[in-house]
Amino acid sequence: MQTRYEPRDVESRIARRWVDSGINHPEPAGSPAENFSIAVPPPNVTGALHMGHALNGSIQDVLVRWHRMHGRRAKWVFGTDHAGIATQKQVEQKLARAGVAKEDLGREAFVEEVWRWTREHGGIIQEQFKRLGASLDYDDERFTLDDGYVRAVLKVFVDLYEQGLIYRDHYMVNWDPGLRTAVSDLEVEEREETDTLYSIRYSDEVVVATVRPETMLGDTAVAVHPDDERYRHLVGTAVMLPLVGRELPVIADDYVRTDFGTGNLKVTPGHDPNDFEIGRRHGLEAVTVIGEDGRMTAAAGEFAGLTALEARAAVVQALGDRVVKTEPYTHNVPYSHRSGERIEPLISLQWFMRMDELARPAIEAVRDGRIRIRPESQRRRYVEWLEAIRPWCISRQLWWGHQIPVWYRGDEVHCGLEPPDGEGWERDPDVLDTWFSSALWPFATLGWPQDTAALRAFHPTDVLSTARDILFLWVARMVMMGLRFTGEVPFEDVYVHSVIQAPDGRRMSKSLGTGIDPLDLIEQYGADATRFGLLAMSSTQDVRFSEEKIAQGAQLANKLYNASRLILMNADPAADAPPATVEDRWILSRLERAKRDAAERIEAFDFAKLALGLYDFVFGELCDWYLEIVKPRLYDGDPAAHATLLRVLEETLALAHPVIPFVTEELWSMLPGERGMLAASRMPPADPSRVDPEAEAALGDAIATVRALRTWRESVDARPGLHIRGVPSGAGATIDLVAQMARFEWAEDGAEPVAVVPTPLGAIGVLATDGLDVGAAERKRAEERDRLEREIARAEGKLGNEGFVAKAPGAVVAAERDKLERLRAELEAL
RNA sequence: GGGCGCGUAGCUCAGUGGGAGAGCGCUCGCUUCACACGCGAGAGGUCGCUGGUUCGAAACCAGCCGCGCCCACCA
């Protein structure tokens, strides 16, 4: 057996065993209450595993493995998302490299091409999740464009249409001129930019200000505030729009601010969301001067055909001295999240979904605790967003996706799961926003709208784990759709995890070149280490990636491996004896606390403490102390030591398995006796009878004593191998293990100590020993006296403070008194 | 403009009312018969600043400085 754990040798073999064993694919039986289920946030079908997947995959896998090991049927639904815009864009780019436009192929051939592409790239992320150790149900994979899933999506559309929640309207939308499609409000990001603010004189009395002079070609009014004395006389009159020659009525509207610019607002209902609203209020015509291609339309007259930006310069030039002022102006500009293009607000015929009626029960479900969102800050975000929700533009001008189930013939409209009978019907060419179909994920993946066994067994799911960037896009919409169509919440806990940033604090992104590939980490450190590191980094707030944490995970795996080697190479598998010594009782008690801590941390979704707590137990208690203390008994064949070691090892492997499944599974297979896979085993139950405060106190003192003696040794430059003769001030159960660990030898009392070391177990006298420099010991004694005197003065000061004695809790004061006494005794001993 | 969060050791982060912590890095020592991805011992911190509450503040409150994120239709 090699002395170092090599994940590469182990992980692929173990991963295959798990998948082949069928444990990831539970029978659809039992009730959702007794089962445990999670629907994975579906990655894009052509995507590759990134840091977010790796972290969230680790989190979910911990939960799935934990609950499976507690005897629950655990189903982690696997699947991918067709990701309309993203996938279509990839294929368009591929075609463009071959000089082909999608229009050349036509819709049907293009969609077939996208299918080919998804089949080609679709299996990648599944293999990557397997490498991470994710125990997803790979045997029951879903895709948001599967036949069954499509039926669910169309049914939802038709039902909502019939219920009047989905409607078609000419309305101002966020138009992405790059992708040539509308996008929803959530797909728009604002960027701060400095542009030029132009003041343009429309008449002697009317001067308007705008950063987009080209839109003036579409002006249909000038507005002033109704209370603005300066312009009251103008209301009801008209001004002539320069360049165009259209008469603009001067209207009064509350929206106008009197303290901005001149207090005259140009109104362009066709190209500004605010102006659109004003236009609706006042019955103004909306003139579209910028088209869906981002170029000026025929309505722009002589400027037709120019891009909006070109038109801006041309309009400014044509206006000549009517431009009375230019000044730099910093404002927010909308950009498309998807393409990075500047959003062009324009009026378009689109499908919308009314959300207020759906939002109310979704708010209620969180308010009354049927859904718990943590952390609390995300719960608030969720509620506040839903309370202010607006209609959702659900149609996209794409080819890849769920085509809207609506057909037109003249003025006739047919919405249904099947095409209408008769000739001459034409189907709406648009597809649905990808998030429309994702919103059905937790139940559509289980077979809804059919009443399937899977749905009865696993819905509602238990946990939804995600990053906060899709809380609105996805999570809130799942709740709304779930409640509307299944009558149940789709999940009970929403855990919003941190975002792992690049080490320099920037966002991890491929385009910035700041991304770190989790597969590289798995390659270098192993999947266990990667999982451990990501979990240890995780938190409820953003954290910077630190490779050291991954390395820490590799050390834990290696440590467990070597500790297991020590035990398995020396312990008698047949040993069967109860704990015999204080250290046996101590390690069992500490293990019990580690088990309790782990359970609490899972319960609290505190994965960082879960991982680091395991590390602390394995290093700080099991290996650094128990294994070192027990070694002589291990080598001597002490049955109690052997039995305790095997018991502790077995339970530690089980406890650590959800976090570091590979190494624990591998070591489990080396334990004596016939046993199945650890992944399919039961978590050792809590055993409160093992908690032993006396043993913990005794070992706590012993450990502190060993440390004091070691520190003393270092301070006098004693050789590490030198066994120093000493005299303890008393005999306790731990005094011999103290000698062993500190390399002391207890001598008969009587000789005069050359030095005294104060410890929690009393003063320990040091006798003259060959190779020990007593002069150094003497200097050390003086330093120690200084330290004790300082601490005593501090404690005395505190206890001399009347306020402290009178107002602090009794236990705190008593503890301070005890400490003072102990310090005085130590000083006395010196 | 509104809201949320953060500022603790060189780095990444725990700690949220009673003696400043972890991992990594650094220094010194160790071929201790599981592990040098190891073992042992150390150095290193006016806990962003200023006030306040309290017997006691890194923690609670207020203000300020710095950083980040989210939401928002003001030309």
pLDDT tens digits, one per residue of A383-406:
989 998 999 999 999 999 999 999
Per-residue pLDDT at A793 exceeds 80: no
Distance, CA of A362 to C1' of B3, in Å: 22
- B chain positions with any atom within 7 Å of a protein CB: 3-6, 11-14, 18-19, 22-24, 29-30, 32, 34-42, 54-56, 67-75
Residues 655-694 of A with CB under 7 A from strand B: none
Mean pLDDT over each residue of chain A, to the nearest integer: 91
* A97 CB below 7 A from strand B atoms: no
Helix intervals (H) in A526-606: 527-537, 547-570, 582-603
* Confidence tier at A714 by pLDDT (50, 70, 90): confident
pLDDT value of residue A814: 80
* Confidence tier at A257 by pLDDT (50, 70, 90): confident
Distance, CA of A714 to C1' of B28, in Å: 10
Helix (H) or strand (E) holding A193: strand A188-201
User: Taking a C-beta distance cutoff of 8 angstroms, is the pair A598, A613 a contact?
Assistant: yes
User: Taking a C-beta distance cutoff of 8 angstroms, is the pair A454, A447 a contact?
Assistant: yes
* A414 CB below 7 A from strand B atoms: no
* A134 CB below 7 A from strand B atoms: no
Pairwise CA distance, residues A745 & A732, whole Å: 15
Structure tokens at A646: 């095997």
Can you spell out the DSSP letters for A422-444? SSS-EE---EE-HHHHHTTHHHH
* Confidence tier at A25 by pLDDT (50, 70, 90): very high
User: Taking a C-beta distance cutoff of 8 angstroms, is the pair A442, A75 a contact?
Assistant: no
Quick check: helix, strand or coil at residue A236?
coil
User: Taking a C-beta distance cutoff of 8 angstroms, is the pair A41, A466 a contact?
Assistant: yes
Structure tokens at A283: 């019955």
User: φ, ψ for residue A578 (rounded to 5)?
Assistant: -70, 160
User: Taking a C-beta distance cutoff of 8 angstroms, is the pair A207, A216 a contact?
Assistant: no
pLDDT value of residue A642: 95
Q: What digits encode the pLDDT tens for the residues A278-331? A: 998 898 989 999 998 889 999 888 988 999 889 999 999 998 898 988 888 888
Per-residue pLDDT at A504 exceeds 90: no
Residues facing residue A207 across a β-bridge: A201
Pairwise CA distance, residues A356 & A359, whole Å: 5
Pairwise CA distance, residues A741 & A745, whole Å: 11
Helix intervals (H) in A627-773: 628-635, 639-656, 661-668, 693-715, 735-742
Helix (H) or strand (E) holding A59: helix A51-68
C-alpha count within 13 angstroms, C-beta hemisphere, residue A382: 30
Among A390, A295, A392, A393, smallest CA distance to A344 is for A295
Among A158, A160, A153, A156, smallest CA distance to A445 is for A153
| pLDDT mean over A557-575 | 94
Pairwise CA distance, residues A634 & A643, whole Å: 10
The strand ranges marked E within A601-728 are 724-727
| pLDDT mean over A59-78 | 96
| pLDDT mean over A136-159 | 96
Distance, CA of A332 to C1' of B4, in Å: 21
User: Taking a C-beta distance cutoff of 8 angstroms, is the pair A202, A239 a contact?
Assistant: yes
| pLDDT mean over A781-791 | 75
| pLDDT mean over A516-530 | 93
Quick check: helix, strand or coil at residue A452?
coil
Cβ count within 10 A of residue A395:
25
pLDDT value of residue A686: 94
pLDDT value of residue A20: 94
Q: C1' nearest to CA of A812: which nucleotide? A: B18
* Confidence tier at A812 by pLDDT (50, 70, 90): confident
Residue A391 preceded by cis peptide, ω within 30: no
Q: What digits encode the pLDDT tens for the residues A194-244? A: 888 999 999 888 999 999 999 999 999 999 988 888 888 888 888 999 888
* A766 CB below 7 A from strand B atoms: no
Q: What digits encode the pLDDT tens for the residues A581-614? A: 999 999 999 999 999 999 999 999 999 999 999 9
* Confidence tier at A499 by pLDDT (50, 70, 90): confident
* Residues ≥6 apart with Cβ < 8 Å to A274: A255
| pLDDT mean over A795-810 | 79
Residues facing residue A251 across a β-bridge: A223
Helix (H) or strand (E) holding A610: helix A607-615
Residue A309, sorted as left (phi over 0), alpha (psi -120 to 50) or beta, turns out to be alpha
Residue identified by tokens 């004694």 is A781
Q: What digits encode the pLDDT tens for the residues A666-688? A: 999 999 988 899 999 999 999 99
- Percentage, residues of chain A above pLDDT 90: 63
* Residues ≥6 apart with Cβ < 8 Å to A220: A246, A248, A267, A268, A269, A279, A284, A285, A286, A287
Pairwise CA distance, residues A297 & A809, whole Å: 79
* Confidence tier at A67 by pLDDT (50, 70, 90): very high
Residue A595 vs residue A781, higher pLDDT: A595
User: What ipTM does this complex have?
Assistant: 0.94
Per-residue pLDDT at A75 exceeds 90: yes
Report how far Cα A800 is from the mean position of its chain's Cα atoms: 51
Per-residue pLDDT at A101 exceeds 80: yes
Task: Output the CA torsion A186→A191→A197→A198 (10° steps).
Answer: -50
* A215 CB below 7 A from strand B atoms: no
Residues facing residue A373 across a β-bridge: A494
Per-residue pLDDT at A781 exceeds 90: no
Pairwise CA distance, residues A166 & A150, whole Å: 18
Residues 560-579 of A with CB under 7 A from strand B: 562-563, 565-566, 569-570
Distance, CA of A662 to C1' of B26, in Å: 34
Sheet holding A406-409, edge to edge: A412-415, A406-409, A426-427
What is the crossing angle of helices A376-387 and A356-367, to 10°?
Answer: 150
| pLDDT mean over A407-416 | 93
pLDDT value of residue A787: 74
Distance, CA of A538 to C1' of B70, in Å: 20
Among A602, A657, A595, A600, smallest CA distance to A621 is for A595
User: Taking a C-beta distance cutoff of 8 angstroms, is the pair A552, A536 a contact?
Assistant: yes
Cβ count within 10 A of residue A138:
17
Per-residue pLDDT at A128 exceeds 90: yes
Count helices and strands (H / E) in chain A.
28, 28
Report how far Cα A561 is from the mean position of its chain's Cα atoms: 30
User: φ, ψ for residue A45 (rounded to 5)?
Assistant: -60, -35
Tell me the one-letter amino acid at A579.
P
Distance, CA of A372 to C1' of B74, in Å: 37
pLDDT value of residue A522: 94
Residue identified by tokens 């941390």 is A601
Give the residue with minimal CA–C1' separation from B69. A542
A264 exposure class (CB count in 10 Å sphere: 0-12, 13-18, 19+): buried
Q: C1' nearest to CA of A801: which nucleotide? A: B55
* A509 CB below 7 A from strand B atoms: no
pLDDT value of residue A602: 94
Helix (H) or strand (E) holding A350: strand A344-353
Give the residue with minimal CA–C1' separation from B56. A804
* Confidence tier at A810 by pLDDT (50, 70, 90): confident
Structure tokens at A443: 């139940």
